[in-house]
Amino acid sequence: MSDAAVGHRVGVVGAGQMGREIAMVFALVGCPTRLTDHDEAALAAARDHIRARLAEDAQAHLSITKDLTDFAD
């Protein structure tokens, strides 16, 4: 994990093109990252895009949810 990522968690609201790319960058550098959207189709598209582009070790830093209460922590 990079020094910049230590101790930080990232939440991204919106799983469109910009949101999913932002989430991918943070996951790539090792930040625990959570991505959400109210639209199930957008989440599914983001999930497919991320799986196709990120290695499994980077994917481990990313969670995808539809529930904003998952951001409470």
- What is the per-residue pLDDT across 20-57, written as a single tens digit (0 to 9) for each? 999 999 999 999 999 999 999 999 999 999 999 999 99
- Given this model, what pLDDT does residue 8 score? 85
When computed from its CA atoms, the radius of gyration of the chain, rounded to whole angstroms, is: 11
Q: What is the mean pLDDT of residues 47-72?
A: 95
Q: What is the pLDDT of residues 14-29, one digit of tens each?
A: 999 999 999 999 999 9
The confidence score (pLDDT) of residue 6 equals 59
pLDDT score for 4 = 55
**Single-letter amino acid, residue 59:** Q
Which of 66, 54, 67 is CA-nearest to residue 27?
54
Phi-psi region of 66 (alpha: psi -120 to 50; beta: other; left: phi over 0): alpha
Neighbouring-strand partners of residue 62: 33
pLDDT of residue 3: 57
Q: Walk me through the domains of the chain, giving residue ranges and CATH numbers.
A: 10-71 (3.40.50.720)
